[in-house]
A and B are shown apart, each in its own frame.
Chain A
Amino acid sequence: MQTVFKKTPVLTDAILHYCPGCGHGIVHRLVAEVIEELGIQDRTVAYVPVGCAVFGYKYFNVDSVEAAHGRAPAAATGTKRTDPNRVVFTYQGDGDLASIGAAEIVHAAHRGEKITTIFINNAIYGMTGGQMAPTTLVGQKTTTSPYGRDENHCGKPIRIAEMLATIEGSAYIERVAVNTPANIVKAKKAIKNAFECQLAGKGFSLVEVLSNCPTNWGMSPVESMEWLEKNMIPYYPLGVKKDITKEV
């Protein structure tokens, strides 16, 4: 019999706790496959966030550290600086990275910290039950913006990829989405580029992944992917925002 699909050994056999149709599971697989393909499992350390991906240490089959809310880029810095040969990545949600951890991510980029960040933008606080995030779209209803996000009250959503691309220390920044098979293939390529950027010692790399939260968006998985396409991608344009890896 011909094997057409094999689970990467960089994911453990633990059953994912994510809701059905949630993008977190897809991104876990992409990250793990990239680690396998690059042959770096034995020197990779994963930093998981506070958010729905808090149990990431059960799934990524690499040495793993759970960081305080938003602090993963600082903590990952500690692991990287004590042995630059390690490959260190953080996996963070939008509440974790764009709100409470805004300083830590900006300064990891500012230092050109040679780590890779996988940033899951699902426009909401998933784990705590669907509160507004800095990335929540204008008009989007959440439990703490029950009438829809009002830009006069709490501003317009923050575009992390574009913002970090302005920082000199950022070497590779791309925004992708996991709403269609074609976009998932592109997402994996971006993640690979980001890790390769770290391996080449070029500087800070980040992939912003537009993802969904069917549970807290109050949608079926299919509806949520359509909503992402229709509402998130126009505000958060996909593509490479910064790439100095090709410069010599």
Chain B
Amino acid sequence: MAKKLMKGCEAVAEAAIQAGCHFFFGYPITPQNDIPEYMAARLPKVGGCFLQAESEVAAINMVYGAAASGARVMTSSSSPGVSLKQEGMSYLAGAELPCVVVNMVRGGPGLGSIQPSQGDYFQATRGGGHGDYHPIVLAPSSVQEAVDMMQDAFDLADVYRTPVMILADGIIGQMMEPVEFHESTSKRELPKKDWAATGWSPASGRPRAVVNSLYIEVDELQEMNDRLQARYKIIRETEAKAETYNTDGAEIIVCAYGTVARICKSAIAICEKKGVKVGLVRPITVWPFPEKQLKEVMDQPSVKKAITVEISAGQMVEDVRLTVNGAKPVEFFGKPGSYTPTAEEIAEYIMKSREA
């Protein structure tokens, strides 16, 4: 298929539809309005349903209901709206329901800004709502990558019966890039949704469906949590993904995700010109965090330290530190709010840090 110049939000929406998502519930918030707008125009044409909810709270609960009835369903929002979705995300996790939630992250806390940010990393990767759960969190660094991961986002949700989040800084949503849509086919064996509430009678040939996250007996709740944790263990062991770039024999490893990782590549080129070899580890899944991939790179004798670069006050850096576990120094460069560092600033920090 020919490449098409598309805005990130629209490309993500189109990719979701091509992945078989015909139901979308959302609420307007910048910088992701192009997703609901695109869905509103397209879904009725493919026999699906777009509905503008009264709030993000309602939107995520509509997602909960659609997922409970077995539909492939998605919502999107940006930081303040995603905060409102956390109750629903916890219920989705507890009731073991698949769905995809897109967060085009903007500056915070509070109303913050509408510029890109990576300040929602903790909320996304730690669960965000109440209870012991994690959504799977995917972090695209280009519009093409966002498009390419949509099919698998829905498949992951179905296979593991869990919410999956696309965590993208607002740049990904607002930037136009050439994209190519490949035919979307599932690479996974998808389980039957025989647990879904679709209507039942004794003649239905399956047990009556009860979609629920209430387990009032201690051992029943334990059993549900054990089931979730067993799934999370498999996810950690098999689904963590990262891109490594220029890491062989590097002296310094930069760890960054999303758009920032691309800026880091330019910074790496600047350092290279000054004769310093810097490598990049770019988590593609931020939960599960690609520990193995990062550790392997960091274990090289040539590597002296890691520098994490984020548009935040330093969130992912905690996962980098947990992974490196004191073996080598881990530094942080970045700013909270919506301040996106330039390649020159990152290169300057790297060079200075080397002298220190």
Taking Cβ atoms with an 8 Å cutoff, the residues of A that contact B are 9, 41-45, 47, 54-55, 57-58, 61-68, 71, 74-83, 86-87, 103-104, 106-107, 110-111
Contacts and interface: CB of A to CB of B under 8 A. Distances in A.
B64 A44 contact: no
Most buried by A among B62, B198, B213: B62
A103 B57 contact: yes
Given A65-B211, A78-B73, A82-B66, A71 B200 contact: no
A86 B199 contact: yes
A76 B73 CA distance: 14
Contact of B51 (A54, A67, A77, A103): A77
Main secondary structure of the interface of B (DSSP, over half): mixed
B319 interface: no
B211 A78 contact: no
Contacts of B61: 67-68, 71, 74-75, 78, 104
Contacts of B235: none
Which are the 9 A-B pairs with shortest beta-carbon distances?
Answer: A78-B65, A78-B66, A75-B65, A42-B201, A74-B61, A63-B197, A107-B54, A43-B199, A74-B58
Interface stretch (B154-162, B202-210, B251-259, B271-279): B202-210
Contacts, number: 134
A81 B51 CA distance: 9
Contacts of B64: 67-68, 71, 74-75, 78
Interface of B: 23, 25, 49, 51, 53-55, 57-59, 61-71, 73, 87-88, 91, 95, 197-204, 208-214
A83 B260 CA distance: 42
A95 B49 CA distance: 31
A47 B69 CA distance: 12
Contacts of B68: 65, 75, 78-79
Contact of A82 (B69, B204, B209, B212): B69
12 contacts: A9-B202, A45-B197, A63-B198, A63-B210, A64-B212, A66-B211, A68-B88, A77-B58, A79-B66, A83-B69, A103-B57, A107-B53
A168 to B, nearest CB: 15
A57 B211 CA distance: 9
B198 A83 contact: yes
Nearest to B204: A42
A42 B200 CA distance: 4
Contact of A78 (B57, B67, B200, B210): B67
B119 to A, nearest CB: 26
B66 A81 contact: yes
Contacts of A65: 65, 68, 197, 210-212
A167 B25 CA distance: 22
A45 B198 contact: yes
Contact of A63 (B49, B55, B200): B200
Nearest to B206: A63
A111 B57 CA distance: 16
Most buried by A among B54, B57, B65: B65
A45 B211 CA distance: 11
A9 B203 CA distance: 13
Most buried by A among B73, B199, B212: B199
A42 B209 CA distance: 12
A87 B162 CA distance: 26
